[in-house]
């Protein structure tokens, strides 16, 4: 551990925040799981803590390996498509396993489950960091060529730099939404991809960003006008519940209403660790998507800030280094990891507190879940490798 935290160039604050969040998550998963022990058995809480601890240890191993070994040259024209194909195949493989709550989003191996969509988010960050950050360099059009040849090269550039990566995004989104029926993860992945497109600093994309923005506005308006025809009943139910959480307390509004009760009774310091009443059958799966409500009920605003501050620090660090690094590919990877954490924080806390419609996504490193924990720590490992190289290069320049 001493060698890990003394690794030259890495941002030790990020490591420290990860340690705080993962330990906090394991403890609160145990507390939140106690409420289901009567139904699931006396060892349920302990087993959930042990499983999460195993995932965290595996995540740390992956994070340290990637921090030490990852090179941006790994993200190239061939590897990005290999990673993409692997992620897509795993997402499609979920269709052959039993569904959970109507979604085919998991590969089940005994008591363990794998959610490929979580890893696909990291894969798409790497995929787009190359396609929006580097491939344009290989598609430069020479000046002294014929008009016909120039038009041919422009079409080729449009295909490689714009159309092909956008097609890849749509295919992944289609599989997630229409085949897996996992709207939450798919929307987060689409949002990260969209933001990476708008963030890329290369001038070539400027005119396409304007066109994309117009299409997004038109698409948003059309979705609002035709929502009742496009969305399924349970998806519309979540929107109606968000608009009026007390309208159907015994039905669709059950979880959100009880989560709001947990927030209302938590106060500044909460009821005390382990003293939640909402975890006893009022909030199903309280150790997963709704763990924030249990944290607030037991530890209050202080407990809420205990995970929010490390989260904000990690996001800030990703964006801080992304703004300073000149290499576009590395910049987009850091932005992508920062957006990954930011979006999960916003969607999970916003959904549980009634700020936005609930979509059912975990709070990274806090909620129970092996795939989200491993994917998040792998993303941080890749980011730390880039940060370490930047800091070492900066130190070398200062010494010269």
Q: How many CB atoms lie under 10 A from the CB of residue 61?
A: 13
- The encoded tokens of residue 16 equal 């420290």
Residues 9-60 have pLDDT tens digits of 899 999 999 999 999 999 999 999 988 887 788 888 999 999 999 999 999 9
Lowest mean pLDDT of 10-19, 103-112, 240-249, 280-289, name the range. Answer: 240-249
Query: What whole-number distance in Å separates Cα of residue 118 and Cα of residue 120?
Result: 5
Measure the CA angle with vertex 186, ends 181 and 191; round to 5°.
155
Residues 319-336 have pLDDT tens digits of 999 999 999 999 999 999
Alpha helices in the chain (DSSP H): 2-5, 12-33, 37-40, 44-69, 77-93, 116-131, 147-158, 164-174, 183-199, 206-225, 227-230, 233-243, 254-266, 291-324, 328-353, 370-399
Residues 354-396 have pLDDT tens digits of 888 777 789 999 998 889 999 999 999 999 999 999 998 887 7
In angstroms, how far apart are the furthest CA atoms of the chain? 77
Determine the distance from the C-alpha atom of residue 226 to the mean position of all C-alpha atoms in its chain, rounded to a whole number.
28
Helix, strand, coil content of the chain in percent (nearest 5): 75, 0, 25
125 near 379, Cβ under 8 Å? Answer: yes
Can you give the pTM of this predicted structure? Answer: 0.92
Which single residue is written with the structure tokens 């940060």?
A: 387
Determine the distance from the C-alpha atom of residue 29 to the mean position of all C-alpha atoms in its chain, rounded to a whole number.
19
- The encoded tokens of residue 331 equal 């910049």
Which single residue is written with the structure tokens 């530890």?
A: 299
CA dihedral 320, 322, 323, 327 (to 10 degrees): 150
Q: How many residues does the chain have?
A: 400
Whole-angstrom CA distances from 357 to 15, 184, 338, 347 are 32, 10, 22, 8
Which single residue is written with the structure tokens 């965290």?
A: 56
Q: How many CB atoms lie under 10 A from the CB of residue 343?
A: 20
The whole-number pLDDT of residue 2 equals 56
Domain ranges of the chain: 2-231+267-399
- The encoded tokens of residue 240 equal 């109606």
Residues 275-313 have pLDDT tens digits of 889 998 888 778 888 899 999 999 999 999 999 999 999
**Beta bridge partner(s), residue 114:** 107
Residues 6+ apart with CB under 8 A from 304: 266, 292, 295, 296
Rg, Å, the chain Cα set:
22
Going by pLDDT thresholds of 50, 70 and 90, the confidence category of residue 226 is: low
Query: What whole-number distance in Å separates Cα of residue 67 and Cα of residue 59?
Result: 12
Going by pLDDT thresholds of 50, 70 and 90, the confidence category of residue 3 is: low
Query: What whole-number distance in Å separates Cα of residue 171 and Cα of residue 116?
Result: 15
């Amino acid at each position: 551990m001493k060698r890990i935290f003394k690794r030259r160039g890495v941002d030790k604050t990020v490591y420290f925040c990860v340690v705080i969040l993962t330990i906090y998550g394991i403890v609160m998963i145990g507390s939140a799981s106690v409420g289901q022990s009567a139904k699931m058995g006396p060892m349920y809480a302990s087993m959930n803590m042990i499983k999460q601890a195993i995932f965290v240890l595996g995540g740390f191993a992956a994070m340290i390996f990637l921090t030490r070994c990852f090179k941006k040259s790994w993200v190239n024209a061939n590897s990005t498509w290999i990673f993409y194909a692997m992620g897509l195949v795993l997402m499609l493989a979920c269709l052959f396993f039993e569904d959970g709550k109507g979604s085919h989003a998991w590969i089940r191996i005994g008591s363990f489950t794998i959610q490929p969509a979580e890893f696909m988010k990291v894969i798409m960050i790497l995929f787009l960091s190359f396609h929006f950050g580097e491939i344009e360099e290989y598609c430069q059009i020479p000046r002294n060529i014929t008009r016909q040849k120039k038009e041919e090269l422009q079409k080729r550039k449009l295909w490689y730099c714009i159309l092909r990566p956008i097609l890849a995004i749509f295919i992944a989104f289609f599989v997630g939404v229409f085949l897996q029926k996992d709207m939450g993860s798919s929307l987060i992945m689409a949002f990260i991809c969209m933001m990476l497109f708008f963030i890329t600093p290369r001038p070539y994309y400027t005119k396409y960003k304007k066109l994309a923005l117009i299409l997004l506005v038109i698409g948003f308006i059309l979705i609002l006008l035709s929502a009742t025809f496009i969305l399924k009943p349970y998806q519309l139910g979540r929107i109606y519940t968000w608009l009026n959480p007390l309208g159907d307390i015994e039905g669709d509004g059950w979880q959100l209403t009880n989560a709001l009760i947990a927030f209302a009774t938590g106060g500044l310091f909460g009821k005390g660790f382990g003293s939640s009443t909402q975890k006893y059958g009022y909030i199903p799966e309280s150790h997963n998507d709704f763990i924030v409500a249990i944290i607030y009920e037991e530890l209050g605003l202080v407990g809420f800030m205990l995970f929010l501050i490390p989260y904000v620090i990690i996001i800030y660090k990703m964006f801080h280094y992304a703004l300073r690094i000149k290499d576009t590919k590395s910049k987009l990877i850091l932005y992508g990891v920062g957006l990954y954490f930011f979006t999960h924080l916003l969607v999970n806390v916003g959904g549980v507190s009634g700020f936005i419609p609930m979509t059912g996504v975990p709070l990274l490193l806090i909620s129970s879940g092996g795939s989200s924990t491993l994917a998040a720590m792998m993303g941080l490992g890749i980011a730390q490798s880039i940060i370490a190289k930047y800091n070492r290069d900066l130190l070398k320049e200062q010494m010269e």
